[in-house]
Amino acid sequence: MAELDQALAQAKGQPVMLDLYADWCVACKEFEKYTFSSPDVQQALKGTVLLQVDVTKNSPQDVALLRHLQVLGLPTILFFNAEGQEQPERRVTGFMDAAAFSAHLRDWQA
């Protein structure tokens, strides 16, 4: 959690998207392959700091982070404003295709 807090502090002044994923998570792999690779999504993410946390090992530290962030399933994507505050209404859990995710990003940035 300290590493996450530090990364958020370094991003001050910029919005942050935090992607929590695991190698065993099929929906996480689909997000990576089909959604994050989309030119529309890439364009919508310009100016956003992208952070990823791999919780594949399910270590005690991973479990503590997931519990702290109240993550119920993977993938979970959290959004933080330029002041480092999470925008819980923007949280995404599960797969979202590129068109829907691009629209979600545009709404968040509006």
CA distance 53 to 103: 23
Output the CA torsion 100→23→25→1 (10° steps).
-80
- Encode 82-96: b = buried (16+ Cβ within 10 Å), e = exposed: eebeeeeebebeebb
What does pTM read for this prediction? 0.94
Q: How many CA atoms lie within 13 A of 31 on its CB side?
A: 22
Note the pLDDT tens digit of each residue in 47-72.
999 999 999 999 999 999 999 999 99
Q: Is the pLDDT of residue 109 over 90?
A: no
Return the closest-CA partner of residue 24 out of 59, 54, 56, 53.
56
**Are 80 and 12 a contacting pair, CB within 8 Å?**
no
Q: Could you say which architecture CATH assigns to the domain 2-7+14-109?
A: 3-Layer(aba) Sandwich (3.40)
pLDDT at residue number 37? 97
Amino acid occupying residue 37: S
pLDDT at residue number 2? 85
Q: Where are the domains of the chain?
A: 2-7+14-109
Q: Is the pLDDT of residue 1 over 80?
A: no
